[in-house]
Amino acid sequence: MNYKQLTDKKKVEINILLKQGLTMRKVAKILGIHHSTISRYKSGKYKKRKIDIKKKYEIFIKYFRLLTKW
């Protein structure tokens, strides 16, 4: 399957159409996306993930040190 991130423009369009009283299915049909995408967006499942860069860096350094010991 080809999954694409919702663009900011699509998010605004979804919000506007829903505020006009259209159903999620009708909005999905107008925008050419699946109605479950709109449902997941509205429920907040598309929040950005927070990455602890310091922890990722520490893991990388440990891995790098293991590689350089050989």
* Structure confidence at residue 17 (pLDDT): 94
* Structure confidence at residue 48 (pLDDT): 63
- Residue 18 clears pLDDT 60, i.e. is over it: yes
Secondary structure (H, E, C), 16-31: HHHHCCCCHHHHHHHH
Q: Tell the residue number behind the tokens 């259209």, with chain if given.
A: 22
In this prediction, residue 1 has a pLDDT band, given cuts at 50, 70 and 90, of low
Instruction: Enter the pTM of the model.
Output: 0.62
Q: Tell the residue number behind the tokens 């990388």, with chain if given.
A: 60
Mean pLDDT of 54-65: 80
